């Protein structure tokens, strides 16, 4: 297990990782990989073990069990080589508050071992990428939350690493700032492997190619955001909005259709939600029935599903999470 070449591994590989704090097991047997060109969203409720896992990947915290390879290097045996490949934005984006942005980034560049000229060009490039030009000479403690987060980002990308690990990069930002940071992440994703943690579900849809979900320290799901949506009971459901009230026999007629499992009357008197069995596509049958019955419809919408519903089911009590996800 020790000497697989750097080339043969994914950008980040995590194998049977575990972390105990005393008698408490915060991370239990987690395995996954991140490839170059991929943005992997690391999802889970508060206390799930996201930050602890990321700290172990970044070499900030020694695992109790398991192994991590970053850029093909074992983070425990070859920490310097591994850390050269890696940019890490810790939770809350800590920085030296009394330093100016420029002084802080110069300090980081020095720690990264750059000589004077390269130091300058590295800092200038990071300032530009993170859009920090207007505050470069201000003390970090005087900056808004959004700017502080960008300072953390600039620090993480200063050495243009092929791998980025970012712990809740958009946490606490306003919608415009969130959008900016997400755009930056998407731009960088082309040639990097990026792992971001979040508890914001739309973020997974907005920027991630793949999502993993952990709860109580265990891996519960590993797949695409689309696959996650498919697990929603609303996936492929059809919402009907009638012109006027719902006809008296509509629900019963819809229930007779092949593939339809349930029909819910919504709060509005003019709407029905038609839910399929096992996410079957039912829109065709529903539309045919509506035509045959000459129902007057304002709207007929196929639902893609609701991430929050799936998230709650997967991360809820252990027995509820048995359906659908890989073992
Ligand atoms: N240094 C520590 N000592 C003891 N318990 C810790 C420590 N760090 C984290 N924990 C616990 O481990 C669990 C996972 O925490 P964390 O990884 O921060 O979760 P997340 O980032 O998903 O919110 C939590 O129950 C937390 O209280
Ligand atoms: Mg955390």
- Picking from 286, 285, 284, the residue whose alpha carbon sits closest to that of residue 273 is 286
Is residue 112 a part of any domain in this protein?
Answer: yes
Is residue 313 a part of any domain in this protein?
Answer: no
pLDDT at residue 139 tops 80: yes
Q: Which two tokens stand for residue 14?
A: 């995590």
Residues 161 and 209 in one domain: yes
pLDDT in tens, 295-315: 999 999 999 888 888 998 999
pLDDT in tens, 196-220: 998 888 888 889 999 999 999 999 9
Domain closes at, from 214, 230, 246:
230
Closest residue CA from atom 18 of ligand 1: 51
Per-residue pLDDT, averaged over 235-257, amounts to 94
> Is the separation of the CB atoms in 149 and 181 below 8 Å?
yes
Residue with tokens 């030009």: 133
> Is the separation of the CB atoms in 216 and 52 below 8 Å?
no
305 φψ region: left (φ > 0), alpha (ψ -120 to 50), beta (else): left
Residues 264 and 119 in one domain: no
Is residue 273 a part of any domain in this protein?
Answer: yes
Domain closes at, from 230, 247, 263:
230
**C-alpha separations of 56 from 14, 20, 62, 97, 197 in Å:** 10, 12, 6, 25, 14
Residue 327: the pLDDT is: 37
Residue 303 φ then ψ, to 5° = -80, 140
> Is the separation of the CB atoms in 296 and 242 below 8 Å?
yes
Higher pLDDT, 220 or 173: 220
Is residue 179 a part of any domain in this protein?
Answer: yes
For ligand 1, whether the C-beta of 90 sits within 6 Å is no
pLDDT at residue 30 tops 70: yes
Is residue 148 a part of any domain in this protein?
Answer: yes
Residues 221 and 79 in one domain: yes
Is residue 1 a part of any domain in this protein?
Answer: no
Mean pLDDT for all residues in the chain: 91
Structure confidence at residue 249 as a pLDDT band (50, 70, 90): very high
Atom of ligand 1 nearest to the CA of 48: 22
240 CA distance to ligand 2 centroid (A)?
41
Q: Residues with beta carbon < 5 A to ion ligand 2?
A: 50-51
Residues 135 and 14 in one domain: yes
27 CA distance to ligand 2 centroid (A)?
12
pLDDT in tens, 141-156: 999 888 998 999 999 9
Per-residue pLDDT, averaged over 35-41, amounts to 95
Q: Which two tokens stand for residue 21?
A: 């704090």
Is residue 110 a part of any domain in this protein?
Answer: yes
- Picking from 14, 3, 16, 2, the residue whose alpha carbon sits closest to that of residue 65 is 16
Residue 65 pairs in a beta bridge with 18
Q: Which of 19, 52, 57 to mutate to test the pocket of ligand 1 (most atoms within 8 A of CB)?
A: 52
* Radius of gyration of the CA atoms of the chain, in A: 24
CATH number, domain with residue 92:
3.40.50.300
State how far the Cα of 42 lies from the Cα of 202, in Å rounded to an integer. 13
Residues 196 and 262 in one domain: no
Residues 226 and 243 in one domain: no
Structure confidence at residue 177 as a pLDDT band (50, 70, 90): confident
Residues 150 and 242 in one domain: no
154 CA distance to ligand 2 centroid (A)?
20
Is 127 strand, coil or helix?
helix
Is residue 327 a part of any domain in this protein?
Answer: no
CATH number, domain with residue 286:
3.30.70.100
CA atoms within a 13 Å half-sphere pointing along the CA-CB vector of 237 = 19
pLDDT at residue 1 tops 70: no
Residues 41 and 20 in one domain: yes
Domain closes at, from 208, 230, 252:
230
Residues 81 and 143 in one domain: yes
State how far the Cα of 28 lies from the Cα of 197, in Å rounded to an integer. 17
Residue 7: the pLDDT is: 54
185 CA distance to ligand 2 centroid (A)?
19
State how far the Cα of 131 lies from the Cα of 305, in Å rounded to an integer. 36
Residues 204 and 252 in one domain: no
Per-residue pLDDT, averaged over 28-40, amounts to 96
Q: How many domains does the chain have?
A: 2
> Is the separation of the CB atoms in 219 and 31 below 8 Å?
yes
- Picking from 28, 32, 63, the residue whose alpha carbon sits closest to that of residue 49 is 28
Residues 162 and 85 in one domain: yes
- Picking from 168, 152, 177, the residue whose alpha carbon sits closest to that of residue 200 is 168
Structure confidence at residue 318 as a pLDDT band (50, 70, 90): low
Residue 95: the pLDDT is: 86
Residues 245 and 132 in one domain: no
Q: Which residues span the domain enclosing 41?
A: 6-230
């Amino acid at each position: 297990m020790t000497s697989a070449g750097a080339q043969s591994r994914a950008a980040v590989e995590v194998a049977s990782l575990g972390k105990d704090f005393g008698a408490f097991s915060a991370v239990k047997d987690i395995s996954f990989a991140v490839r170059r060109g991929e943005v992997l969203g690391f999802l889970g409720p508060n206390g799930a073990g996201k930050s602890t896992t990321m700290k172990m990947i970044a070499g900030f915290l020694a695992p109790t069990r398991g192994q991590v390879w970053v850029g093909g290097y074992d983070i425990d045996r070859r920490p310097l080589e591994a850390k050269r490949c890696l940019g890490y934005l810790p939770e809350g984006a800590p920085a030296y508050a009394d330093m100016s942005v420029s002084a802080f980034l110069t300090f980081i560049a020095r720690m990264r071992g750059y000589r004077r000229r390269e130091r300058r060009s590295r800092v200038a490039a990071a300032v530009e990428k993170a859009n920090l030009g207007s505050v470069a000479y201000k003390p970090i403690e005087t900056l808004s939350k959004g700017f502080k987060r960008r300072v953390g980002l600039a620090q993480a990308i200063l050495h243009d690493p092929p791998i980025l690990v970012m712990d809740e990069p958009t946490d606490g930002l306003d919608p415009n700032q969130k959008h900016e940071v997400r755009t930056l992440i998407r731009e960088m994703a082309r040639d990097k492997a990026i792992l971001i943690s979040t508890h914001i579900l739309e973020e997974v849809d907005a920027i991630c190619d793949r999502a993993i979900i952990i709860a109580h320290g265990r891996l519960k799901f590993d797949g695409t955001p689309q696959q996650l949506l498919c697990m929603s009971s609303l996936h492929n459901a059809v919402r009907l909005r009638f012109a006027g009230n719902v006809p008296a026999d509509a629900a019963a007629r819809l229930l007779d259709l092949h593939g339809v499992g349930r029909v819910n009357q919504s709060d509005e008197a003019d709407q029905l939600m038609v839910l399929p069995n096992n996410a079957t596509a039912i829109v065709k049958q529903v539309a045919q029935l509506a035509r045959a019955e000459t129902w007057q419809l304002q709207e007929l919408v196929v639902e893609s599903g609701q991430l929050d519903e799936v998230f709650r089911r997967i991360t809820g009590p252990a027995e509820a999470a048995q359906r659908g996800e890989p073992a």
